[in-house]
Every structure is written in structure tokens, then in C-alpha cells.
Structure 1
């Protein structure tokens, strides 16, 4: 029986080995056939579906499960070239499926090379924004679900340490340029020497001046021998950009270059010529007329997005409002994009962060409230709608000074756009509501000032001076349309005027100065006529007469956090309610700047506290009395920070070793110093006095040490005498009080030192009576004195005597 079992085991092992061998052989045959099919692929034939491409079984299964069947134009041309390992410059309209055009070649090339986690990083995908990187990663997870590759998402706003721990095991990385460069410089175990493919989505944005240094640094870390794919709706053709990326005979795939328009044919594009001060009214009227639509509104800066979002949210247009800008935290930005994608009717106020690559489903309108910097930015913005051959509409708001230049740029880029007019009966004005809100809410007014400055700055820095003419913009009326009492001062515009006045002739300067004598400080102080003095002036009139003032003197808190959540409002006593009595919005107490409470202020600027009240005087340390003759002066007393202006400057004090305070620098008059004698003589005298003081302190310290030693010696002698008396008494048979009970005459005497370990061990081993005194060791004798029995009765005395006699 035993030989039979042995022969059975030997027969079973070859069967398992043959199964593995057959499976491995079958896999090799499939791989070799796939490689052969890719080599035989004809680039000139037009392919309409994914099933006609030479794809592996995992990729085909992932595409089928994700419901991808037919190929778009850019996919049919780019995938064929990419499968053969060629470098590609891909350009196609927005919403044409460029993401799959580079994800499918990545999966196939790594699969044919039998890439494993031990081979390291195989493909790197760069994205200009975090939202687009997240979107690419989600598509990669769906399509590559049946592959064994490991993929990672590397963007800012997350833990760097967690990313460093997992980075070395990734085969495919989707990342933003800044975060990727940080890992290349700081992560020790991250190697890119074996990289096979580099992909840049929205390549023209990555290659521009904003990312130029970062991309150059990333490319320096990558190997020269690799496949590079660049995709964008507006592709770059600069030789310098292509040389920086080490492209080798790239194939330029521009499927829509010969098309009549650079935008999708299903996209209806219009523009409205509206003056800058009327843009907010036009936007409000549009939103109120399209409450059953899904709209994206683009503005030029994040501060404008925050102001428009907070203002419209307070006015309650009747549709959900959201906002997205680059200053929000990553979690808040992701929640907003997810919520907007899932919503059916909503409005998203956004900067150009949302202009590239983001796929929001079923967007009906794209409103560009601020003119884009160039035609490429316009194409990317309007591409958020009419995606994948769906219907969409876009509207561009243009100031009359921007119309001619922008239309020429769009015509050069083959963008068909038509002008439409606004129906006068549907136009609504919200200027009065904004003025009321800014008057009652200083924080909203502060946001309005920042929005005004950021918009003017964005126009000022534009390179296209034919389109953006800052001198022709009605800035005063624009500030009034935002609800501000006046246009805030802007330093860089004032600097331009100074250069022009300096270069002008003397006669022109003289004429301008004569004309400006009557209007001096016209921006800051309005002219007062007799007619104005006779009129009754309300608090709103006084507010609009105070111009260019800084609000929020006590704080600069923001309306919302960086992640998009609201700051809990401080409900203080006497808080002013909002215009619509909305408790969810901010209700803060009115704050006044310290400049409004100066003694020399015009009486018309301050409200009298009452006709029958007399002026009070408050005494401030080191200053003249402060006269309290108005309500503003009374409020001034509640602010410690503003009262510091009327107090003297404090002096800085330092403390010596003894805790005495004195000034930091005690300067002496030079004449008094010279009156005391020569400097060298004073130095010698000072050195002698300090030496004498040091000697006296040294003598005192030595005396203290000597006294302490004397006390220790007396205590030691007393303890030795007590031990000696005890030993003598024990020898005579007389029981004395224990040493512990002897009063050595010092209340602060330290306790008796603990017995040694040997003594404690002997005591624990002894089984005698615990009430009997334990033997003591003297410091002079090494042997312990035997303990004598206590003599309490006559029998004890007889026993002791018999012991001595016996």
C-alpha cells in the first residue's frame, strides 16, 4: 500500500505543474497575438467602435462595463498612434472625449509590457487643476477596474506623509504639477527612472508662464526615453515648448482644425453689450428669468465670486447658489463640484478654476460676466456646456470698450458669436438693495471693496491693451453698482497718472492745476452748496459723503471659511438686522473707524447725542481731556484699541534678576557724563566699585556656606552622642528611650536615614516580637549589639541575674 500512495503523489505533482504551464503558455500566446495585432494596425483606416481596436481583455471589459462603445473623432485617431508608441499633440473641441484618448493607451502599453508593482512608476498624468485630476482619476478607476495596476491621485490639500508611504508602489499617477515636484524633491523612495509614458492634459495651460518653472523641474527628473502625449482644446505649437519636453517626431492630431468653428456645433453663443455698472443688474435679471436651468457664471477673481455669491444669496433669487474658487480648502471644493454635478437646477459662481476639463452634466447656460483674457480662455469656459454633442447656450457680457477687441480675437479663432439685446421690461435693478446691505453689513461692504480692487487689478494686468482699456471704464459708477459709497483708492492707477502728468508740458500742468483748484479732493469730500445745506440730510446721505474710508477697523473677519462653510455670526446686543431679516446671514454691530472720532471732525458728520445733554469730558492718562459730545464719542469709549490713539506711547520695560522693572535703555546726558570726569577715570572707578561689590558678595556667600557646614556638623555630633549613650545603657542593662525619640533641639532636623538593604532583609527574616526594639549599629563597631530583654517584673530581674551568674 505504501508504494501505491507514493506513486500517487508523484503523479499528482506533474498535473499541477502542467496546469500552470498551460495557463502561462496561453497568456504568452494571447500577449504575442495582441502585440502582432497592434503592429498590423493600419493608421489610415477609420475606426468607429472600441471593439475594432486591438485591445486586451481587461481594457475591453472595463470599457464595456462603463458603457463606452463608440469612438469620438479624437479617440479614433489618437489611440491608434499612441498604441504604436508615438508622441502625440492632440487638439479637439471641448467635450470630445480626450480623457479616454490617453487613458486607453496607458493601460494597453503597460499591459503589453507586463508591468508589475515591482517595476515602479510606469505612467505619469499631469493636470493643471485639482478638480480635473480627480475627474481623470475617477475615469481611470472605471476603465481600468479589471487590470492589476495600482493607481494613485497626488494633489494638494491632503497629507503629504500618507502619500509618501504609498507612492513607491504606484504604477500610474494622476497629479498636479506643484505636488508632483514636491514629491520628486522630498520623497526618498520615489523613483521615476523607469517611466514609460508622460501625459499632460490641458497642455497649453501647463506649459504657460504659470507652470513653466515647475514643469521644467519635473521634466529634469524624468528619463529622456519615454512616450509623451499632450492634449488640449487649444494646443500649443511652440518649438520651444516641444523642445523642453524632448518630443521625438510628434504626431499632430487636430481633428477639428478644418472645421468651420472651434466650438461644438450644438452650442449657441451670444454676447450682450452692457456697461460695467449694469452687469450685476443684468446677471440678476437673467437668473430670475431662468430659475429652472443649470448655470455656470464665470468671474475674473475669487473675491468677486465671494461678493456676488454672498450678495445674491442674501437677496434670495429662488434657486440654489454655489461658489467655487481657488482659496477654498480641498474638501470644500470637492463637495461643491459633487453637489453641483448632482443638482438639477442651480447656479455656480466660479473662477477659471472650473474653466478647464471639468465635466458637469447637463449644464444649460454658461455666463461669462467678466471678459476672458483671450479667445482660448473663452473656448474653455464655454466648453462646460454642449458636451458630447448635447445642446447648450453661452452668453458673454461685454463693456462697450471691450466689444471691438474681443470680437476680433474670437473671429480669429473661428468662434461664431451673435449679438442679442436685453428686454427692457424684464430688466431689474438691485443697486438700492446692495447699497442698503453694504450700509448695514460692514463685512459685506469690505468684500465689495476687495471685489472692486481685484477686478480693476485683473483688467490692469492684461496684456491685450486693445481689448482691456482701464481708462475708459466708469469706475465710480461701477463702485456704486456694488453698493459702495465711493470707489476705493487704487495705487497702481494713481501711479500711471503721475507718470503722465510728469511727462506733460508745463502749460498743460498749469491748466490742469487751475481746473482742479475748485475740485480739489473731489474724490474724498463732496462739494457743499447752499442748496445742499438747506436740505434735510439722512444717515444714508452722510454715509455716501464719507468716501474711501476703511471699514472693519476692529477686525477683518471673512464671511465664509476657506472650505465654503459659513462663519457663525456673533449675535451681540443691539445688532442690526439684515435687509430681509434673514437670521442665517451675518448680523454684526456697526463698527466705526478711529478717524471718524477725531476732535477736528466736521459737526455735520457726527450725530448729536441730544439737544438737552451737556458735553462730558473724560480724562485720559498723559493727554488732554477727551470731549464726549456725540454718540460716536460714546461708542469710542467702548473700544480700547481706538482709545490708544488718544493716549501717549508706552515705554518698554525690562526686569532684572530681582524682579525690579526699569527702562530698556537709560540714556544719560552727555554734559552730565563729562562733568563727572574723564571717561577712563570713570571706567577705572566703575571697575573698582564692581570689584569691591563682588568681593563683599563673595564674603557673604562664603559665610553662609560656612554656617551651613557648622549646623550639619552639630547635628552629626548630636546624633553620634545619642548612639553612644544608647550603647552604654544597653551594656549596663538599663533601657533608655529609643534614638528616634530624642529631641535634638531642631524642628527642621531631617529624618533618621533608612536602614540598608541588608538590615531590612534581616528584620524581615526575624520572627521575633514586633514590639521589641530592633538592634542598632554604631558607626564605629562592625558587629551588632545583641538585644537585651526588658525588665518589667520581678521574675524578669531574677532571670537576668541567673543568666549573669550562670
Structure 2
């Protein structure tokens, strides 16, 4: 049966010829297609292969958007593309469809290696691109892979050699290019940069240059973003010489296609409010309380601010589900938060710019920007999380009096003019007293507030646009009080060179940094610092947690000259107590209070009964007597069956105990009988051994085995010696009686019985 279903050589050759003819026809249609003359409305109107059309139709992608209509035909013709479009306009499909078409027309297989490389600046955006590719390319036979930070590198390296389409972040892609043995990019056909302006900035500059250095120069490059960087130096780094501009102003030698329009959709309503920095949290909390039926994203400038506001607002319970997302979270937590936020309908997400670009959140009602973005492009990306694919949405930005006029003028150059909103004083609520109370009760929240304050001040200091961000005009004391702090913490500002260096290292893979610290011999350089664990860092910090404070108090008297062999250290040298260290005694005024204070029983009654704790093998404490849960009791069976089992168990225990007791009693009786026989033997010897009625002697004996009997036998010892001399005389004695019988002294009861028998017979 298998031979009948198998195609012969002629059939395979015929099928291959049909496939080649179909591909030639697609290429011919693609070269003849003119986007200016043929305004396609649906995907089926474009010269696409049947497998890609089936995947698009199965994923409910039928109608073309503006960026797809203009960029896909140009990409299919083999041109490099520099494209910019409004947020939520379908840029992901604008480069995924050409990638699939390119590999299909080249008849790509797993043995041809890596055919397309898609780079994303954030992990969340890379995951979203991968999910869309899996849906659209479900009818194609290509293999795709996702490599991002936070995943198992070894697991990815084992499977990356057979990948045709690779999606990932710059750091992880460069790591695999340097370390993975099976990854070969020499045959790469297409390079795609999503959010290209972010990938080309200072944070990813060196990483991206290293990636491009491993790629062949003869390739097709696609750059997509909502805001596009037109720097000739950046384009030269990517080897873009003959490229087409889609939706951007003409720069360099590129050819203009389309027109420059506002980067925000028309269905987005944009507002701004004039608010001072100390009042921002009050306004934010009041805004959330008045929009409990909405789905909103709140953007802040740093992850520490996100963490602090999330923890404090969660304790104050505004009445809506709260989530937080920032770059310092683990990848599993970030993925779970994204999934929950996508499915939720009424929720508030506090986030940094890690989700400001490209992430498709459905049905977001409000985008609130508490902190002013660094530039107009970042503003465009943030508000683009709402009003996607023609849906309605709203955006609100809070601007301080120093930021308002300069930043609004920069938005005006992008043809963005938000409306001003006035704050209703009746709905405004101050949360400063609540924040102060929370920080007073919880030292961890106070620590988060300090870090949030410092991170915001530093974020203002590092901004390039000094007309918008005026560092010297920040009201630090008032801002600290608005966070619940009693005063402004001290801040150590680093130089701009150190900040730039830290920004570059932030997006660099750790493994590559470790390799950079090694010399040619594979040894660490002398100037490289030793590896510090998280515990070393924790104890090295100051003024953060109670643990580190206690640790500093213990170790502050230890110096380098201390001998390592010393096992005793001085924890305190000054034993004079200050007034603050003395306990504050409260003297009761009433007689009942005085009696209660002097009575140990009354004071214990007020504090409750003392409880005794036991510890298990894991070190966890438990009460001596614990009540069992009803569910656990029911799992073991009914009450009657447990009763029978308990009685049976106790009966077995008692029976075993009875056997042991009987054995002990038996041995005790045996020893008592042995001691009694010895006692009788001694009594027999003390009396006349020659008596013919031993039974009388046995009957008159007292079987008392206490110490008095032993003492009595000791007192009678001299009398026995005298009687022995009189009864048993020697044969050599001249006074020997003729009737006397010479015998040995009896040693046992049998000897006494034999002696008695001889005496009776004689």
C-alpha cells in the first residue's frame, strides 16, 4: 500500500515544474504591480501565494491598511524599505507578509539555514510578533524561533540551527551569533527592524553594529516604526543605499512614497492638564477613582516609581484591579501580567516605556502619562496603545508649569495639539496623609518611596532637552512630602559619561560583558572586579532594609587589623543609655490598673494564655496541639471507620504491652524462686544437717528475702563454725567417736538429701 501512495520520479518532477511556473507567475505579477495605479483593498488583490492568503484568511486578516497597501508591494519587488505609520495601523503584517513571500519564492527549507532575522527592542514586542507569525504562517512549512532575555539559552542553542525565521531582542540574538555553533547567517535574505528608531539609538548601537557585522551585505532590509529616524549615518550602518520611504519625508537618496501625516490616529482624543509636581499623585488617585469602569495604562518614567505607586495604591484600594510592569521584573512575571491585562476589561496598569512601543492591547480606554516623555516621539508611542485599528480612545498627559509650553510646542511640530482639561476641585482628593501613615508603619514602603524620589530626580537630570526638563526648578521638599517622606533624601548625581556608559551596559548581554573582561589567555583582566553575589550587594548597601542596618551595626567595629582567629567581637562599646533608649513607663492611675500591673496573673490574663511551640524538621513552628481541618478529616474516611481503626490500634498497643509485662513478671518470679532456694539451703545448713526430719525444718523456715535475713545469717556465722567442729570430727583425733562417719561438707541440696539418707540407714 505504501508503494501505491508514493510518487515516482516523473510525478515529482511534474509537481516541481508546476511549482516553479507558479512562482514565476507570482514574480511577474509582482513586477507589474504599481501601487499608485492599482489601489488594492484586500490581501487577495495583492500578488501573494496561496499559502500566505490561506493563513491570513484563517487569522481573520482580510482588509489592507494604508501602510500595508503601500509597503508590501514595494517589499515584494526587492527594495529596501524605510517606513513609518501611525500606531495601530498594522505594521507587523506589513513586514511579516514579505518575509513569508520571500522565503516561499526562494523555495527555502530547513537545510538552507537562517533566511530572515527580525529584531525588536523589547521582549514583549518580540513575543507579539512571534504570535502573529505563527498564526499567519500556519499554512507555510517554515520553522520560526523566538529568542529573548529571561529564557533558557541552552534550550535555544540546541534548536536554533534549524530555524528559518528568527525573532528576538538585540542582546540575545548577538549572544547566539557569537556562541551558537549551528547558527549560520551567511545566507540571510531579509533583515527586519521593528521600532527601528529605538533599535538604532545609543542603547543598542554597539549591539546592532555587531549583529550587522555578522550578516551578508547582499540582503533586503526593512525598517518600520511609528516615528522614523532619518539619520544618514544610521542608514549607512545598515547598508541602506537604494531604499524607498513609506509615509516619511524624503531623505538621502530615497524615493518618497506616500505623504507625511500626523502620527496619531484621528479617533484618539488627546488632553493635557496643568498640575504641579507635588499634586500629581493626588490627581492620579482621583482620576482612577472616577474611572473605575475603564481600562487604562499609566506611564511613569522609571521602574522604581511604578513599584512604589503600585504598592501604595494597592494598600489604599481605589476600587479597581491594579497591575504593574517594568523592565526589572522577571520574564515570567512580565508575561503573566501581559496576558492578564489583555483579557481584563476594567483594570489599571502602571508601566514604564517597556510597553510603550508596538504592543497591541485591545480596547484600552485611557492612556495616562504622569511623567512627561523625553520627546514627542515617545509621546506618540505611548498614546498609540489606545485607539488602535480605528477604535476610539483617550489620552491624558500631566505637565508641570515648567514643562507645559516647551513640550506643547514640540508636539505642535508633529501636528499634535491636545486639548486642555480643568480639574474639578470637588473630585480632587489628597492622599498625602494616607501615604505618610503607610510609610510610617511599613519601612519597606518608605524605602520604595526614597528610591522612587531618587529615580525621578535622576531621570530629569539625564534628559537632553533642558528647555522642557529644568533640573534646578524641581521642588524637591514638596515632592518628597507628596510621596509621604518627611524630607528629601540625599542624592548623588553621577557624571553624564557614567550615565551614558550605564545606558550602554544596560542593554548588553552579561555573557558578552564577561567575555570582554577576559584576555586572550581566557583569564580575567587585573582591573576587572570580582563577581559579587546578590547577598554581597544587599549587605553592602546602606539605609535600605532592616537587615542591612542590623548588619552594619554588627560589623561597624570590625577593622582590617582584626585577627581572623578571634571568635569574639565587640557589638557595643558604649553602655551608657540615652534618654531615647530608656523604656517609656506608663504608670496607671486607677486602682484597678495598678492592681493589674502588680499582679502577674492579671497581666497574663490580659495578654492571653501562653502557647507552647514545637518545631518540625524544616524549622517551621507549630502549636503543640493543632486542630485538624474538616476537609483533611473527611479525606481519611468516616468518623465510625476512624473510630474502629483507632480502637484496633490501641488494642494492639495494649496487647503488646501486656505480653511485655507478663514476660517481665515471669523473669522476676524466677529470680525470686532462685533466691528463695538459696535461702532455704543456708537455713538447712544452719540447722542440724544430721536431722532425720528435714521436712519439719522446711516447714518452719521463713522465706523472707529482705536485708534483715541476710544480717541474721551473718550473726549466726560463728555458731555454725563451732557446730561444724563438734559434728564433723577428724579421724586422726584421739577423741574421735567410733560411731562417727567422716564425710565432706555438703555443698548443694542434693548433697544434703544424700547425707540424710545415709544417716537414716546407718
Give the Å deviation of 1:484: 0.3
Work out whether residues 298 and 352 of structure 1, in 8 Å CA contact, stay in contact via their aligned partners in 2: yes
- Cα 1:210–1:255 change in 2 (3 A) is closer
Match of residue 503 from structure 1: none
Q: For 2:219 and 2:380, locate their aligned partners in 1 and report how far apart those are by CA, in whole Å.
A: 31
Matched, 1:310 2:311: yes
Give the Å deviation of 1:267: 0.4
- Cα 1:149–1:626 change in 2 (3 A) is same
- Cα 1:211–1:630 change in 2 (3 A) is same
Give the Å deviation of 1:50: 0.4
Matched, 1:65 2:58: yes
Matched, 1:627 2:628: no
Q: For 1:336 and 1:434, locate their aligned partners in 2 and report how far apart those are by CA, in whole Å.
A: 26
Q: For 1:42 and 1:278, locate their aligned partners in 2 and report how far apart those are by CA, in whole Å.
A: 56
Matched, 1:180 2:186: no
SS of equivalent residue, structure 1 residue 35: helix
Q: C-alpha deviations, 1:404-424, integer Å up to 9, x for none?
A: 111111111111211111001
Give the Å deviation of 1:236: 1.1
Give the Å deviation of 1:594: 6.2
Q: For 1:621 and 1:260, locate their aligned partners in 2 and report how far apart those are by CA, in whole Å.
A: 72
Matched, 1:418 2:419: yes
Give the Å deviation of 1:551: 4.6
Give the Å deviation of 1:63: 0.4
Query: Unpaired segments of 5 or more residues in structure 2?
Result: 250-257, 497-540, 558-568, 585-762
Q: For 1:210 and 1:261, locate their aligned partners in 2 and report how far apart those are by CA, in whole Å.
A: 27
Q: Tell me whether 282-291 or 186-195 shows the greater mean CA deviation.
A: 186-195
Q: C-alpha deviations, 1:555-607, integer Å up to 9, x for none?
A: 269xxxxxxxxxxxxxxxxxxxxxxxxxxxxxxxxx99969x99xxxxxxxxx
Q: C-alpha deviations, 1:378-412, integer Å up to 9, x for none?
A: 00001000001110000000111111111111111
Matched, 1:404 2:405: yes
Match of residue 382 from structure 1: 383
- Cα 1:277–1:625 change in 2 (3 A) is closer
Q: C-alpha deviations, 1:610-647, integer Å up to 9, x for none?
A: xxxxxxxxxx9697651235564679xxxxxxxxxxxx
Q: C-alpha deviations, 1:250-271, integer Å up to 9, x for none?
A: 0000079746632110000010
**Structure-2-length-normalised TM-score:** 0.65
Matched, 1:146 2:95: no
Q: For 2:8 and 2:461, locate their aligned partners in 1 and report how far apart those are by CA, in whole Å.
A: 76
SS of equivalent residue, structure 2 residue 130: helix
Q: For 1:393 and 1:140, locate their aligned partners in 2 and report how far apart those are by CA, in whole Å.
A: 30
Q: For 2:56 and 2:66, locate their aligned partners in 1 and report how far apart those are by CA, in whole Å.
A: 17
Work out whether residues 204 and 236 of structure 1, in 8 Å CA contact, stay in contact via their aligned partners in 2: yes
Work out whether residues 80 and 243 of structure 2, in 8 Å CA contact, stay in contact via their aligned partners in 1: yes
Match of residue 264 from structure 2: 263
Query: Unpaired segments of 5 or more residues in structure 1?
Result: 1-8, 496-548, 558-590, 599-619, 636-806
Matched, 1:452 2:456: no
Work out which of the residue numbers 176, 194, 198 in structure 2 matches 1:205. 198
Match of residue 79 from structure 1: 72
Q: Tell me whether 234-243 or 29-38 shows the greater mean CA deviation.
A: 29-38
Match of residue 35 from structure 1: 27
Match of residue 251 from structure 1: 244
Q: For 1:251 and 1:471, locate their aligned partners in 2 and report how far apart those are by CA, in whole Å.
A: 45
Matched, 1:347 2:348: yes
Q: C-alpha deviations, 1:721-753, integer Å up to 9, x for none?
A: xxxxxxxxxxxxxxxxxxxxxxxxxxxxxxxxx
Work out whether residues 553 and 593 of structure 1, in 8 Å CA contact, stay in contact via their aligned partners in 2: no
What do you get for the CA RMSD once the two structures are aligned? 2.8
Give the Å deviation of 1:187: 1.4
Work out which of the residue numbers 14, 18, 37 in structure 2 matches 1:26. 18
Work out whether residues 73 and 255 of structure 1, in 8 Å CA contact, stay in contact via their aligned partners in 2: no
Give the Å deviation of 1:29: 2.5
- Cα 1:550–1:165 change in 2 (3 A) is closer
Match of residue 164 from structure 1: 157
Matched, 1:554 2:546: yes
Work out whether residues 297 and 368 of structure 1, in 8 Å CA contact, stay in contact via their aligned partners in 2: yes
Match of residue 274 from structure 1: 275
- Cα 1:232–1:625 change in 2 (3 A) is closer
SS of equivalent residue, structure 2 residue 406: helix
SS of equivalent residue, structure 1 residue 454: helix
- Cα 1:593–1:72 change in 2 (3 A) is same
Give the Å deviation of 1:15: 8.4
Q: For 2:283 and 2:70, locate their aligned partners in 1 and report how far apart those are by CA, in whole Å.
A: 43
- Counterparts of 1:727-742 in structure 2, within 5 Å, are none
- Cα 1:191–1:408 change in 2 (3 A) is same
- Cα 1:251–1:294 change in 2 (3 A) is same
Q: For 2:69 and 2:545, locate their aligned partners in 1 and report how far apart those are by CA, in whole Å.
A: 61
Q: For 2:225 and 2:83, locate their aligned partners in 1 and report how far apart those are by CA, in whole Å.
A: 6
Matched, 1:132 2:125: yes
Match of residue 218 from structure 2: 225
SS of equivalent residue, structure 1 residue 627: coil
Q: For 1:16 and 1:626, locate their aligned partners in 2 and report how far apart those are by CA, in whole Å.
A: 98
- Cα 1:452–1:15 change in 2 (3 A) is closer
Give the Å deviation of 1:473: 1.6
Match of residue 338 from structure 1: 339
Q: C-alpha deviations, 1:526-577, integer Å up to 9, x for none?
A: xxxxxxxxxxxxxxxxxxxxxxx975453269xxxxxxxxxxxxxxxxxxxx
Work out whether residues 192 and 221 of structure 2, in 8 Å CA contact, stay in contact via their aligned partners in 1: yes
Give the Å deviation of 1:41: 1.6
Give the Å deviation of 1:481: 0.5
Give the Å deviation of 1:152: 0.2
Work out whether residues 301 and 456 of structure 2, in 8 Å CA contact, stay in contact via their aligned partners in 1: yes
Work out which of the residue numbers 176, 181, 188 in structure 2 matches 1:195. 188
Work out whether residues 74 and 255 of structure 1, in 8 Å CA contact, stay in contact via their aligned partners in 2: no
Q: For 1:32 and 1:186, locate their aligned partners in 2 and report how far apart those are by CA, in whole Å.
A: 39
Matched, 1:102 2:103: no
Matched, 1:292 2:289: no
Q: For 2:551 and 2:289, locate their aligned partners in 1 and report how far apart those are by CA, in whole Å.
A: 36
Q: For 2:63 and 2:104, locate their aligned partners in 1 and report how far apart those are by CA, in whole Å.
A: 22
Work out whether residues 87 and 263 of structure 2, in 8 Å CA contact, stay in contact via their aligned partners in 1: no
- Cα 1:624–1:555 change in 2 (3 A) is closer
SS of equivalent residue, structure 1 residue 394: strand
Work out whether residues 75 and 101 of structure 1, in 8 Å CA contact, stay in contact via their aligned partners in 2: yes
Matched, 1:214 2:215: no
Match of residue 609 from structure 2: none
Give the Å deviation of 1:13: 11
- Cα 1:299–1:26 change in 2 (3 A) is same
**Structure-1-length-normalised TM-score:** 0.62
Work out which of the residue numbers 215, 239, 254 in structure 1 matches 2:232. 239
- Counterparts of 1:705-784 in structure 2, within 5 Å, are none
Q: For 2:578 and 2:417, locate their aligned partners in 1 and report how far apart those are by CA, in whole Å.
A: 66
Q: C-alpha deviations, 1:279-324, integer Å up to 9, x for none?
A: 0000000000000000000000000000000000000011000000
Give the Å deviation of 1:188: 2.0
Q: Tell me whether 301-310 or 240-249 shows the greater mean CA deviation.
A: 240-249
Give the Å deviation of 1:31: 2.1
Q: C-alpha deviations, 1:701-737, integer Å up to 9, x for none?
A: xxxxxxxxxxxxxxxxxxxxxxxxxxxxxxxxxxxxx
Work out whether residues 35 and 69 of structure 2, in 8 Å CA contact, stay in contact via their aligned partners in 1: no
Give the Å deviation of 1:472: 1.3
SS of equivalent residue, structure 2 residue 64: coil
Work out whether residues 552 and 592 of structure 1, in 8 Å CA contact, stay in contact via their aligned partners in 2: no
Q: For 1:631 and 1:476, locate their aligned partners in 2 and report how far apart those are by CA, in whole Å.
A: 27
Q: For 1:59 and 1:337, locate their aligned partners in 2 and report how far apart those are by CA, in whole Å.
A: 28
Give the Å deviation of 1:17: 4.4
Work out whether residues 444 and 545 of structure 2, in 8 Å CA contact, stay in contact via their aligned partners in 1: no
